[in-house]
Structure 1
Amino acid sequence: MIRNMIFKTPLFIILLICGGFASAQDTSFTTYSAFKKALKMYPDIKIVPEFVSPNVKEERNLTYCTIGDRELKLDAFYPVHKGAKDAPAILIIHGGGWRSGNRTQHIPLAQHLAALGYASFTVGYRLSEEALYPAGIVDVKSALRWVRKNHKRFKLNPDKITVLGFSAGGQMAVLAGVTAGHAEFNLACSTNVSDQVQAIIDLDGTLSFVHPESGEGDDSKKPSAATLWFGASKVDNPALWNAASPLTYAGKNTPPILFINSSVDRMHAGRNDFIKKLDEANVYAEVHTFPDSPHAFCLFDPWFTPTVNYIDAFLKKIFK
């Protein structure tokens, strides 16, 4: 079995101490590492900084679920201007190959969306070095339920919740959105609250691990990120890889969805077939693609601002 093999994969590791949890964490994907990589082809790009708005309240390092001694955290950014209430909510899931990355990478996105009137939350979840699939999805579902349960605290509308993710987080966002009520994910915390979302936003996340367009599953040189997340290769457990693919569940019960993509086609494997299923079920889908753009486009200007604008316009259309 793949979980019993020793992979000689070089990793940059740090000690992470979070709510009593200490572990070596893969830090190979950060905003800065993605910036340095993209800078070679896009010398004019800029990292989007955090900013402060008098109309936005921030609450960081909130515990949304405790599993054993492990405290799972999120950050909240929500409008507090005069008359602010019933804001649509957005749960933001970071990328990093289900193995790396950090919720703080999307704080600028959450801040900008909050300034536009959305209660926005950046969520952390258990990565593959800590816990295999479906732990991360269980965590995201727990966070969704926690946000809904605390709707009065954050002055948000519990019937207008969007799940948004980038890269691996995009795959997780869509999977979370298309599996509302599935018992296998209704574990951990706030299990008596609905995990239903009313909209999905996928920023360059794969729609299928088993689609011919997918780049995951090639373990010829080293285990792919998905292999490490599932704990089994595509050959050893194809049913698991198919069950974790959002395309498997696309249909009439899928919420409206927005795809915002880079020019790296393999990062949205299965998207066209996903949309075809939605068209047949008369479910709204919208696509925007940035030509000549890197995979991590949403972390940098000049793509960040139009990404925010696409998100805002889509949600205004859905929640009008």
Structure 2
Amino acid sequence: MRTELLTLNQERNVTLTAYLQETGGAFSYISKRPAILILPGGGYQYCSDREADPVAMPYLKAGYQVFILRYSVKKDAVWPNPLKDYEQAMTLIRSKREEWNVYGDRIAVLGFSAGGHLAGCAATMAENKPNAAILGYAVTRGEDVQMCESTAPDVISAVTEETCPCFVFATCNDQLVAVENSVNFLQALAQKGVTFESHIYAYGPHGFSTGDTSVQNREIPLCSRVPDWVEDSIGWLKDVLGDFGENTMTEPVCKAHVSGDYDTFLSWDCTFGYLRNYAGAETVMTPFLAWLEANKDMLAEKIGPAAQELVRKNGMEGLYFMADSRSFREILNHTGMTKAEKQQIEEALEKIPNER
């Protein structure tokens, strides 16, 4: 492994530390690696060393190229300087992906506290967004972050369907950054259908980093499960970015959105309710809905007793109530249609652009 220290902005003392692992040779099955960009916390007054190198090590062990950005702080933290620092760092990493043996489409960002605010901004409003974001006890509410830096923006209102998948962890009794910062951010992700994983631990202080005794004073009560966030986040990254294959990365098993409702084209991974109400899907859905009307009792029986009761009381509206939030794939699997019939429906849907 080699280490490089690059100065991104000398005037504001912005630096990027790169920890670059070997590929090829003893790692003959690895030609490139995924990467993670770490943004330490520090209330936009400094970049905490406790949330820099100690955090880098587990991701190096997991096979990642690791970068640590020490962004603009104190008087230089006026917005949008920190976000510009992130943009410059991410642009540099992706531009040097061949030299640094990085998969340009497999780069995550990890931020803590104020660095978590910056990671949230990267995930929601950056031009050069990460492919995944990990936010640790992050400040996301505008009124909270502006206590540290008055020009910093609200993250929650910036969440859109284009926000990348997020992993969020915090503690319930954080007395510096209220847990509502994480909870409200998660609610915004859910409203936009963005994939996320969350770990809100029962208790622990702000700024616990990895939770190891080497970085956290154990005289302060800390939930014993807090350190699990590190391995959990690495496992989650494998789900949303893929894992090491033979000179490639495997396909992610977890999509960026919780359903196909947000994809470029329609598919049977869209929810049934979305498809039956989508104006451009009538040619596919109208004949299916007519078939469903004629066979609603059979389908309700396959879904279960609750569906049967709802259909008995409310007819098709009862069936829609049970089915609308389910994927169309699941509904089709209950119909008894042949594989060829279902494939015909899928192929027809895939030709229809999804114009949300």
TM-score bracket for the superposition, by shorter chain length? 0.5 to 0.7
Q: 1:104 to 1:246 in 2, by over 3 A?
A: same
User: 3-state SS of the aligned residue for 1:154?
Assistant: coil
Structure-1 separation of matches of 2:188 and 2:226: 29
Aligned to 1:297: 208
Gaps of 5+ in 1: 1-56, 182-194, 218-223, 231-240
Gaps of 5+ in 2: 214-224, 243-356
How far has the Cα of 1:260 moved from its partner? 1.2
Greater share of residues in helix: 2
User: 3-state SS of the aligned residue for 1:297?
Assistant: coil
Aligned to 1:317: 239
Structure-1 separation of matches of 2:229 and 2:109: 15
Alignment of 1:1-320 (within 5 A): 57-63=1-7, 65-66=8-9, 69=11, 72-80=14-22, 82-83=27-28, 84-102=30-48, 105-181=51-127, 195-210=128-143, 214=144, 224-227=147-150, 230=151, 244-265=153-174, 266-301=177-212, 305-320=227-242
User: 3-state SS of the aligned residue for 2:78?
Assistant: coil
User: 3-state SS of the aligned residue for 2:2?
Assistant: strand
Structure-2 separation of matches of 1:274 and 1:127: 24
Aligned residues: 225
Structure-2 separation of matches of 1:114 and 1:70: 28
How far has the Cα of 1:318 moved from its partner? 0.2
Q: Is the 8 A contact 1:206 1:269 kept in 2?
A: no
User: 3-state SS of the aligned residue for 1:225?
Assistant: coil
Structure-2 separation of matches of 1:125 and 1:149: 19
How far has the Cα of 1:317 moved from its partner? 0.7
Structure-2 separation of matches of 1:127 and 1:308: 26
Structure-1 separation of matches of 2:12 and 2:212: 35
How far has the Cα of 1:268 moved from its partner? 4.0
How far has the Cα of 1:60 moved from its partner? 3.7
Structure-2 separation of matches of 1:198 and 1:127: 25
Alignment deviations for residues 126-169 of structure 1 (CA, whole Å, 9 cap, x no partner)? 10233422211111111111111111122110001111100000
**RMSD over aligned Cα atoms:** 2.3
In percent, how many aligned pairs have the same letter?
A: 24
How far has the Cα of 1:206 moved from its partner? 1.5
Greater C-alpha radius of gyration: 2
Q: Kindly provide the amino acid, as one letter, of the partner of residue 300 in structure 1.
A: G
Q: Is the 8 A contact 2:59 2:66 kept in 1?
A: yes
Which protein, 1 or 2, shows the higher relative CO under an 8 Å CA cutoff with sep ≥ 6? Answer: 1
How far has the Cα of 1:278 moved from its partner? 2.2
Structure-2 separation of matches of 1:58 and 1:291: 39
Q: TM-score, normalised by structure 1?
A: 0.64
User: 3-state SS of the aligned residue for 2:168?
Assistant: strand
Alignment deviations for residues 98-137 of structure 1 (CA, whole Å, 9 cap, x no partner)? 0123457411211220111111111111102334222111
Aligned to 1:32: none
How far has the Cα of 1:299 moved from its partner? 4.3
Q: Is the 8 A contact 2:172 2:203 kept in 1?
A: yes
How far has the Cα of 1:78 moved from its partner? 3.1
User: 3-state SS of the aligned residue for 1:178?
Assistant: helix
Q: Runs (4+) of structure 1 moved beyond 6 Å?
A: none
Q: 1:134 to 1:199 in 2, by over 3 A?
A: same
Q: TM-score, normalised by structure 2?
A: 0.58
